[in-house]
Amino acid sequence: MSRKFSLFEYYSLIHQESIVISYKGPVTPVIMAEISSDIREKLAENPTASRKVFSVFMELAQNILYYSAEKVSFSDRRDSVGMLLVTETDDNYIFSCGNLVKTEFVEELVESCDTINSLSRDELRKYKREQRNRPQKERSKGAGIGLIHVAITSDSPLELEVHNVNDEVSFFSLSVKITK
């Protein structure tokens, strides 16, 4: 029996960078609690960075939980699937996450990120307040301000990567830098 998937290749690929945490699989509240608590422990020596990475992680992991187009079923559960990655350089922590999104939502998502990236910090705070004051959107389970909050908290642009997987879905990933 041949194994199509080489664990060693996977290991080598993610070993290239200094990885603090790497996860791919169902993103559930329980998994989020474990990983977020791990982030707090590992970054405890730098309270400011720890708070920021934690806060960014929580918002973006919740986005996967609510909006990932990839679901996996175990018995009667249906979980969202996504990737969560914390890497570290000399000066920064980098948090990245990725998941499948319905292709029809990609344009709107990219536009939102472009808008966010075009604004200054003060403009972002104003934009967040405006959005928070708006009534709840139908598709939204959250406050609809997660991405703005992430840009403010990380004080860095949202870096996007979008790949068309097929007509229905695209892989969408987002990466932000947090200064140590």
Partner 1 sequence: METQVTSLENLSIEGEKGTFFTPHVNFNAETGVCVLEGESYLEDTWEFYEKLLNWLKSYAKTEKPIVFELKLTYFNTSSSKGILDLLKFLKSVEEEGKDVTVNWYHPEDDEDNIEEAEDFREDTGLDIQLIAY
Where on the chain is the footprint of partner 1 (CB under 8 A)? Answer: 29-30, 32-33, 47-48, 51-52, 54-55, 58-59, 62, 125, 128-129, 132-133, 141-143, 145-146, 149, 152-153
Q: Which is nearer to partner 1, 56 or 94 (CB)?
A: 56
Provide the minimum distance between the beta carbon of 127 and partner 1 in the complex, in angstroms, as a whole number: 11
Taking the least distance from each CB to partner 1, the nearer of 77 and 141 is: 141
Quote the least distance from Cβ 174 to partner 1, whole Å. 15
Nearer to partner 1 (CB atom), residue 25 or residue 47: 47
Task: Sort 42 into a burial class: Cβ within 10 Å, 0-12 / 13-18 / 19+.
Answer: middle
| The residue type at 63 | N
Phi-psi group of 75: left, alpha or beta (phi > 0 → left; psi -120 to 50 → alpha; rest → beta):
left
For 27, the token pair is 């993103």
For partner 1, which is the closer residue by CB, 33 or 72? 33
CB of residue 67 to partner 1, shortest distance in Å:
14
Query: Closer to partner 1 at the Cβ: 116 or 169?
Result: 116
Residue 76 beta carbon to partner 1: minimum distance, rounded to whole angstroms: 18
Residue 63 CB, nearest approach to partner 1 (Å): 10
Smallest Cα–Cα separation from 14: which of 63, 91, 83, 74? 83
Summary count for the chain: helices (H), strands (E) = 6, 6
Instruction: Give the DSSP H/E element, type plus range, for residue 79.
Output: strand 77-88
CB 56: neighbour CB atoms within 10 A? Answer: 26
72 - beta bridge partners?
79
Provide the 3-class DSSP secondary structure of residue 50. Answer: helix
> Strand, helix or coil at 134?
coil
